[in-house]
């Protein structure tokens, strides 16, 4: 399917691996030039080379902490007027809510709510002026189904969702869309770490623990990051111009609800 975005430019945050990388790769396969960001230069450079070699598009790697003003400045200098913005950032670690102090809470809200809003503020006017823009925010399935220990992550991401709900409607007439991708359990390094801990605690192999985790999902398996990336690319397509302010849950049916 031709997504009709060949030649467009995109900023993809936290894109050196995992779901961010999958989104960047799917956009590149659609012909979109990329500026990708993460904190680790070596990993980011390797990803940039891999994507460029596979797709032939221009990929610029900008290593920085996107949650800081300095980090955002570096990314926006590399791509001042993106047609597509994919907001993504790591969430706070698993922790009991009673252990969270003010500094930890402010850091979590900055990473997962304030930062995406700041990037949208910096890029959306040009999107509106040119009558095309696609913004995809990667949040979490925990926005709809809170998980114990991820209260800060869930709260910050839910806050972002509520904040942008009205913004999305205010720019829709300019062919600028703002949507959300809510991942469930995907086969990424981050999930692999938690599965390894679970395996060690239960005295079983990592393969067994991974299989057990998959069995808790109606689809019977973990998600493939490529599936997630393709969903992101579609929301960035020309054809998706009538989809805005929506939360697309990609979790293999784990959320047990009708709406």
**pLDDT at residue 190 tops 90:** no
Tens of pLDDT, residues 132-164: 999 999 999 999 998 889 999 999 999 999 999
Residue of 121, 166, 119 whose CA lies nearest to 138: 119
Strand order in the sheet with 59-63: 59-63, 33-38, 9-12, 84-87, 133-138, 176-183, 247-250
User: Is CATH 3.60.15.10 the classification given to domain 9-186+224-250?
Assistant: no
Of 89-98, 172-181, 205-214, the range with the lowest mean pLDDT is 89-98
DSSP state string for 229-254: HHHHHHHTSGGGTT--S-EEEESTT-
- Using the Cα atoms of residue 62, residue 68, residue 74 and residue 77 in order, give the sign of their dihedral: positive
Report pLDDT for 259: 87
CA distances from 75 to 85, 98, 125, 196 (A): 11, 35, 17, 34
Tens of pLDDT, residues 199-252: 999 999 999 999 999 999 999 999 999 999 999 999 999 999 999 999 999 999
Tell me the mean pLDDT in the region 179-200.
Answer: 93
φ, ψ dihedrals at 98, nearest 5°: -70, -15
* Rounded Cα gap, residues 85 and 134, in angstroms: 6
* Rounded Cα gap, residues 21 and 194, in angstroms: 20
DSSP 186: B
Boundaries of every domain in the chain: 9-186+224-250, 187-222
Tens of pLDDT, residues 17-41: 999 999 999 999 999 999 999 999 9
| Predicted TM-score (pTM) of this structure | 0.96
Other C-beta atoms closer than 10 Å to the C-beta of 120 total 22
CA distances from 232 to 73, 101, 162, 197, 204 (A): 24, 34, 20, 30, 35
Place of tokens 């220990």: 149
**pLDDT at residue 91 tops 90:** no
Report pLDDT for 146: 87
């Amino acid at each position: 399917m031709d997504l009709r975005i060949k030649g467009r430019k995109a900023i993809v945050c936290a894109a050196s691996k995992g779901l961010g990388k999958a989104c960047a790769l799917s956009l590149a396969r659609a012909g979109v030039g990329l500026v990708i960001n993460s904190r680790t230069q070596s990993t980011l450079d390797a990803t940039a080379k891999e994507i460029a070699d596979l797709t032939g598009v221009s990929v610029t790697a900008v290593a920085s902490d996107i949650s800081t003003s300095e980090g955002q400045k570096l990314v926006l200098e590399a791509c001042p007027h993106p047609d597509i913005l994919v907001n993504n950032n790591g969430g706070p670690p698993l922790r009991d809510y009673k252990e969270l102090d003010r500094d930890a809470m402010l850091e979590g809200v900055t990473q997962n709510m304030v930062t995406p809003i700041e990037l949208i503020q910096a890029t959306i006017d040009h999107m509106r002026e040119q009558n095309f823009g696609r913004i995809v925010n990667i949040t979490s399935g925990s926005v709809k189904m809170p998980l114990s220990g991820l209260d800060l992550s869930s709260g910050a991401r839910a806050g972002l969702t509520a904040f942008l709900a009205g913004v999305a409607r205010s720019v829709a007439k300019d062919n600028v869309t703002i949507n959300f991708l809510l991942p469930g359990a995907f086969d990424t390094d981050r999930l692999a770490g938690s599965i390894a801990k679970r395996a060690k605690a239960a005295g079983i192999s990592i393969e067994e623990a991974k299989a057990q985790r998959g069995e808790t999902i109606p689809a019977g398996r973990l998600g493939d990051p490529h599936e997630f990336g393709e969903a992101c690319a579609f929301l960035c397509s020309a054809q998706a111009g009538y989809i805005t302010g929506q939360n697309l849950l990609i979790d293999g049916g784990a959320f047990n609800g009708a709406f």
